[in-house]
Structure 1
Amino acid sequence: MNKIALPENVRYIIGRLEEAGYEAYAVGGCVRDSLLGRLPEDWDITTSAKPEEVKKVFRRTIDTGIQHGTVTVLMPAHKPSEGKETASLDKASSGAWDNQSTNKTGGGFVGYEVTTYRIDGEYLDGRHPSEVIFTPSLHEDLARRDFTINAMAVNDKTGVVDDFDGLPDMDARVIRAVGDPIQRFTEDALRMLRALRFSAQLDFDIDPHTYEAIKELAPNLMHVSKERINVELTKLLMSDHPEYIALVSDSGLSSYISTHFDDAFDVSNEQGAPYPDIRQWIPDGIPKERYIRWGTFLRAVPEEAKIILKELKMDNDTINKARIIAGLFNEELPESIYEVRKTLSVIGYDTYYDFLAADECLSLQYSGEESARRLERIRATRKHVDAIRDAGDCISLSELQVTGKDLMDIGIPKGPEIGMVLHRLLDEVLKVPSRNKKEVLLSLAKS
């Protein structure tokens, strides 16, 4: 479990720094994920070299966060073609090119963040240190990190450096703060949400002392930007265990996220609720689309979904789709194929299929006649959607066989009336698809 095969680019960067007389290690999440058999999103490197010293070792660098000790080292994205000269960055050997890395920069290069060992100064705003102090000690650098599973480093010479028992915690499947959890969460309140997010992504429990600290310091989440909260909540909901969203309520963090956010956990608002277990509120199996996961989570508060997501600085497309999805959960499924076409005209095929899959997944959480009836309607609705798509029925204004210009040509004045007539014609076609012929529609427009 403790053996990690470092990507060639990472080995090369570490090797160059060691040749120059410095220490260097891969560190953090990439070590954790590698030990767990997961593909790291990126590879970060920590070193005893100061930023200006790192820049002297490598030819191509970017000052991405030099005030915090971070320099991005650029490496070629792919190995050179056979037979061509291989001398390039820093006269690297061809083995330094690694096309399996997930680090991305663009322009034919991949970037690797190389950060100097550091100690964070006092945190004045509950998010950012007032100053960064460089240190020659790897141990001191690891001690400032959030959780033990993220406080490990590795290189080929030393192997895994685990000063804070991240390996035993991984074996026990536990999220534990490094050192005093009160101090860790006081330094950076976002770490509380990160604990819940890692718990969901890894299916780990949270250490009781760490969890109690989250409950105690939950109000500190008010210091965190809504954008950062959004990122963590979305990652949690998009994980393989979205049901862990229940911990956001149980920990008390939900009271400090946005207006009405607490209400989203009121499962008694939904027909057929309450669930035996709040964790069934959003079970695994819901399609992994951001708007579907959010819409499913917010289905108890469809009227407030837009407010919640806007406060979290969500993009407009996700807001609109999630709001619609949340509302659909609170409506009866359409009985007629015309009603199905009307719904499709608003949300489209992909969104409707995703909603039906989510609705089916949730309905399977229930038992009894109500659940059986809902499942029957879901399957009947899906058959209607299949039939509409296979027939190529018109479900949008863009598919109508008349345009606004056609209507003006027959004397309908330019302006709002054009839109009103087009929508009336679309409704006629949704009722009877065979009416989608230009001459038929123009005749209907005149009537």
Structure 2
Amino acid sequence: MKIVLPEKVDYIINELIEHGYEAYAVGGCIRDSILGREPEDWDITTSANPQEVKKIFRRTIDTGIIHGTVTVMLEKEGYEVTTYRIDGEYEDNRRPKSVAFTADLVEDLKRRDFTINAMAYNREKGLVDVFGGLSDLQKGIIRCVGSAVERFEEDALRILRAIRFSAQLGFDIEEETLKAVKEKVKNLEAISAERIRVELNKLILSPNPDKLVEAYKAGITKIVLPEFDAMMETEQRNPHHIYSVGIHAIKAVEQVGRDFSSRLKDMDTKEVLPDLEILKTENDLTPKEILVLRWTMLLHDVGKPGSKTTDQGEDHFYGHPEKGAEVSKTILRRLKFDNETIELVTRLIRWHDYRFTLTPQGMRRGINKAGTDIMDLLFEVKIADSLAQSPATWAEKLMNIKEAKRLYQEIKAKNECVNLKNLEVNGKDLILIGLKPGKSMGEILDRLLMQVLEDPSLNNKEALLELAKEYITD
């Protein structure tokens, strides 16, 4: 098998070989190359120790020299070169107590997590695959190198990585590996929130976020995202839904970032076809926005298990958006997300079920409540939420979203005032007509804004100051 290595990777490998050492590209870059995917980065492994690597190349950085890693700088690009190594004893299910360098490539490959990540390649020797990684790629399975129990005892994060790789690649987890996942899942309790967050992000951003259901069945989410277990176990018996809360959330996650044509394939309700332009995203979503939207859809109904009531055989979830915003904030803080992501996700969850009054006045009031900065994302949330519900409800809900978007776009085009920032008077103007600073000033500004939301033509300084004078004398 021939793999085309990037020019600089090939150069580093050949320099090491010419100086009498072994060297290979290794790991995920080989896996992705075989699959026809673009590798995110290229890792190089070698029999040369770090000091020997540093002597060969002019510019290097001691990235993790204790563990054998040196970054070789070629122009402005860095490539990690790591000495073959044998990991010492693992004491905390996270990292080895020590590492020992070795001259044997196979010993280095033995310590890796999965067979598909334990292949190496250079032009001279070709593919080195001593654990059947190529066969597993062809079969579409995730299998540990050697004993799965031992691999998961060494680093428990590999348990979550198994699910994540299966989601990214659309692979199944091999039977013995899955058995070991279930046996050792409690070891995940030793893993930091930051490492768990990285894996969960990759999973829900993958083409197969429904693999989170397999994580639930294997007991993984009970450790890393217990709120999802409650969602999976909460049924929704009402005309709007055909799935449990958890499955509905996964179906909604799957809708985020999909193009127009792929959404059409899911639509069996023929009567809505003429109006499906609503499913087009206004602007290309950034990677950050897709991450925010996918977490929003995963957690948008996380408040339902705690707010469920049943009346005459029909389930209701009163107040679940507010409850969900609170619970999601707790989850995202626990996973050490940045404040911006937490704020965006929780706001979108709080307003995901808001029903816009489909008049210009009602729409302006809705925009004022939710905030102009999240409106485009909120429409994406509403579309994803609707398409994850009963197909019998799609037509009405999509038509309502379409009308809301039309009204919103008109309001934007006319630059109508929807918040205090765009109001033509401010506190300084009110002081000039005799109002003293204090609580009453804020109340009067709010009253003026409410008037403008009803009648945008009132948003001029003269008219607003006349109204303000009336309020002052009230």
The correspondence for 1:167, drawn from 106, 112, 134, is 134
The correspondence for 1:382, drawn from 391, 395, 405, is 405
User: What is the match of residue 161 of structure 2?
Assistant: 194
Residue type matched to 1:118 in 2?
A: R
The correspondence for 2:93, drawn from 126, 134, 145, is 126
Cα separation, partners in 2 of 1:317 and 1:277, compared to 1, 3 Å = closer
Q: What SS does structure 1 have at the residue aligned with 2:81?
A: strand
Render the CA deviation track for 1:343-373: whole Å, top value 9, x for unaligned.
4335555633333234323423444543432
**Mapped contact 2:356–2:366 kept (Cα < 8 A):** no
Question: Which is worse superposed, 282-291 or 344-353?
Answer: 344-353
Q: Give the Cα separation in 2 of the matches to 1:211 and 1:324.
A: 37
User: What is the match of residue 148 of structure 1?
Assistant: 115
User: How far apart are residue 276 of structure 1 and its match?
Assistant: 7.7
Q: Does 1:285 find its partner at 2:255?
A: yes
Cα separation, partners in 2 of 1:258 and 1:204, compared to 1, 3 Å = closer
Q: What SS does structure 2 have at the residue aligned with 1:40?
A: coil
TM superposition score normalised by structure 1: 0.86
User: How far apart are residue 391 of structure 1 and its match?
Assistant: 1.9
Q: Give the Cα separation in 1 of the matches to 2:236 and 2:350.
A: 13
User: What is the match of residue 14 of structure 1?
Assistant: 13
Render the CA deviation track for 1:320-355: whole Å, top value 9, x for unaligned.
221222233344344443343334335555633333
**Mapped contact 1:264–1:299 kept (Cα < 8 A):** no
Q: How does 1:44-443 map to 2 (within 5 A)?
A: 44-76=43-75, 109-258=76-225, 260-266=227-233, 268=235, 272-275=240-243, 279=247, 281-283=249-251, 284-287=254-257, 289-301=290-302, 302=324, 303-348=326-371, 351-367=374-390, 369-443=392-466
Q: Give the Cα separation in 1 of the matches to 2:409 and 2:199.
A: 36
Cα separation, partners in 2 of 1:198 and 1:277, compared to 1, 3 Å = farther
Q: Give the Cα separation in 2 of the matches to 1:211 and 1:124.
A: 23
Q: Give the Cα separation in 2 of the matches to 1:368 and 1:18.
A: 61
TM superposition score normalised by structure 2: 0.81
Question: Which is worse superposed, 399-408 or 176-185?
Answer: 399-408
Residue type matched to 2:28 in 1?
A: G
Residue type matched to 1:376 in 2?
A: M
Q: What SS does structure 1 have at the residue aligned with 2:379?
A: helix
Residue type matched to 1:294 in 2?
A: W
Count of residues paired in the alignment: 414
Q: Give the Cα separation in 2 of the matches to 1:268 and 1:276.
A: 4
User: How far apart are residue 32 of structure 1 and its match?
Assistant: 1.2
User: How far apart are residue 285 of structure 1 and its match?
Assistant: 2.6
Cα separation, partners in 2 of 1:381 and 1:114, compared to 1, 3 Å = same
Q: Give the Cα separation in 1 of the matches to 2:390 and 2:458.
A: 43
Q: What SS does structure 1 have at the residue aligned with 2:103?
A: coil
**Mapped contact 1:26–1:154 kept (Cα < 8 A):** yes
Q: Give the Cα separation in 1 of the matches to 2:35 and 2:248.
A: 27
Q: Give the Cα separation in 1 of the matches to 2:194 and 2:290.
A: 19
**Mapped contact 1:51–1:71 kept (Cα < 8 A):** yes
Question: Which is worse superposed, 317-326 or 145-154?
Answer: 317-326
Cα separation, partners in 2 of 1:218 and 1:232, compared to 1, 3 Å = same
Residue type matched to 2:249 in 1?
A: W
Q: Give the Cα separation in 2 of the matches to 1:17 and 1:417.
A: 76
User: How far apart are residue 383 of structure 1 and its match?
Assistant: 1.6
Q: What SS does structure 1 have at the residue aligned with 2:72?
A: strand
User: How far apart are residue 129 of structure 1 and its match?
Assistant: 0.7
Residue type matched to 1:308 in 2?
A: I
Which segments of 5 or more consecutive residues in structure 1 lack a partner in the other structure? 77-108
Cα separation, partners in 2 of 1:146 and 1:333, compared to 1, 3 Å = farther
Q: What SS does structure 2 have at the residue aligned with 1:304?
A: helix
Render the CA deviation track for 1:56-98: whole Å, top value 9, x for unaligned.
111111111111111111111xxxxxxxxxxxxxxxxxxxxxx
**Mapped contact 1:238–1:293 kept (Cα < 8 A):** yes
**Mapped contact 2:28–2:117 kept (Cα < 8 A):** yes
Cα separation, partners in 2 of 1:416 and 1:176, compared to 1, 3 Å = farther
Q: What SS does structure 1 have at the residue aligned with 2:74?
A: strand
Residue type matched to 2:127 in 1?
A: V
Residue type matched to 2:243 in 1?
A: Y
User: How far apart are residue 278 of structure 1 and its match?
Assistant: 5.7
User: What is the match of residue 275 of structure 2?
Assistant: none
User: How far apart are residue 416 of structure 1 and its match?
Assistant: 4.7
**Mapped contact 2:297–2:385 kept (Cα < 8 A):** no
Residue type matched to 1:313 in 2?
A: K
Residue type matched to 1:386 in 2?
A: Q
Residue type matched to 2:333 in 1?
A: K
Q: What SS does structure 1 have at the residue aligned with 2:331?
A: helix
**Mapped contact 2:32–2:38 kept (Cα < 8 A):** yes
Q: Give the Cα separation in 2 of the matches to 1:410 and 1:258.
A: 56
